[in-house]
Amino acid sequence: MKYPLDFKDNFEKTLLFWIERFIRYKLTSLSNRLVKDKNSVAEVINSLVKGTSSINELSILVKKARNAGLSGINTYYKPLEKLYSYLTKLGLASMKEIDEEMIIDFLTSSTGGLSDASKKNHRIAMINFFSYIDKQNLEDDGSSHVFGIELKNWGGLRGKAGQKLPVYLTEEEISRFIKAIETYPFRCEVAARNRALIKTILYTGIRVSEATNLKIKDIIPDSDIYLLKITGKGNKTRVVMIKSKHIKKDLDEWLSFRNCQKDLLFCNKKGTTLTQAYVSRMVEKILISAGIKKEKNGAHMLRHTFATLLYLKSKDLVLVQEALGHASLDTSRIYTHFDKNKLYKAASIMDDIK
């Protein structure tokens, strides 16, 4: 169904209406694989159909959807919440007054100091939002207003030139970290679970979210290995392996008293999914106990560690891509920066010149 671009002779209500429509569209198109409370999501969507009275009411509904498992909605909503505050202070009378220059001014003023990743999320949210309105608005004469917001020339992003190299553990640090996993004083009821989970991430390079959402059926013993069926970004599946000697003892101990909902392999004391924040705190505490200090101590560093070591020992970029589940080989290419042999060859290129 299409709607007039402007209505009710009230810019604030019109802008709120379009943000509501867009958020409803996103809620119904985002992956719902991680949804824990389907009834809450349905209630939010029904409320959006009826409409909200304020941006605060909309924020509460978005928070409810996020808590139910649709965490990705914040990528779109938070920038739009800021946009609402920005545009409603300009005294606009019509949506047609909004142009790309105005959106660039908004992005420049509201994203200063944010990381490139956050800036990209803001840019994506703006493009998606106005593209949605382009397709959904319809005037009385049958025409549609097209904003055409592309933001190709927005200078707020440094691009690849500003990309930081990932933080990772050296082989000596990996050895210390593994020893620290075994000796860290976890509570007895979660010790086996924590050791098995952290080792699984370290030895396979899977994402923290992929590890915490593993199901019992996803881990298959096969001779001296376990096959893990991983559901990654975009619901794409892949298979990774881990040698059973690394986790069998801890895994068997955990399974002996595991009590998880929805067939989860790992869970908290309530039987539900462990949070990424909890896993990262565990990793950080173990690193500290091992005397290892890094710029970033979260669990995602273990994935970078695996990928870096995999490339250095295999020199096979395609293998890195497949093992980590990267959609593009360009994403995996960053790990080639740690190849000291290639760098040494580059440093030696002038040696024969007199």
Side-chain half-sphere CA neighbours of 63 within 13 A: 7
Beta bridge partners of 241: 227
Q: What is the pLDDT of residue 265?
A: 97
Angle of CA points 78, 82, 85, to nearest 5°: 140
Q: Tell which CATH architecture fits domain 171-344.
A: Orthogonal Bundle (1.10)
* Contact predicate 76/125, CB 8 Å: yes
Of 311 and 232, the structure prediction assigns the larger pLDDT to 311
Largest CA distance in the chain: 80
* Contact predicate 248/230, CB 8 Å: no
pTM for this structure?
Answer: 0.58
Burial of 312 (0-12, 13-18, 19+ CB in 10 A): middle
Active site residues: 207, 233, 300, 303, 326, 335
Distance (Å) of CA 180 to CA 186, 266, 285: 11, 21, 10
Query: Residue 242, SS3?
Result: strand
Q: Which long-range contacts (CB under 8 A, 24 or more apart) does 289-298 make?
A: 289/180, 289/183, 289/184, 290/173, 290/176, 290/177, 290/179, 290/180, 291/176, 292/169, 292/173, 292/176, 292/177, 294/167, 294/169, 295/167, 296/167
Q: What is the pLDDT of residue 332?
A: 84
Distance (Å) of CA 167 to CA 131, 171, 302, 330: 37, 13, 9, 18
Q: What is the pLDDT of residue 160?
A: 45
Tens of pLDDT, residue by residue over 191-218, are 999 999 999 999 999 988 899 999 999 9
Q: What is the mean pLDDT of residues 58-72?
A: 88
Strands laid side by side in the 225-231 sheet: 219-222, 225-231, 237-243
Of 74 and 236, the structure prediction assigns the larger pLDDT to 74
pLDDT value at 30 more than 80: no
Tens of pLDDT, residue by residue over 70-120, are 878 889 999 999 999 999 988 888 898 898 888 988 998 898 888 888 899
Q: Which of 134, 129, 41 is nearest to 96 (CA)?
A: 134
Q: What is the DSSP letter of 238?
A: E
Q: Where are the domains of the chain?
A: 11-162, 171-344
Token pair belonging to 41: 């999501």
Q: What is the DSSP letter of 96?
A: G
Does an H or E element contain 331, and which?
helix 329-332
Q: What is the DSSP letter of 152?
A: T
Which residues have C-beta within 8 Å of that of residue 179, sequence separation ≥ 6?
290
Mean pLDDT (the chain) is: 88
Burial of 270 (0-12, 13-18, 19+ CB in 10 A): exposed
**3-state SS record for 248-306:** HHHHHHHHHHCCCCCCECCCCCCCCCCCHHHHHHHHHHHHHHCCCCCCCCCCHHHHHHH
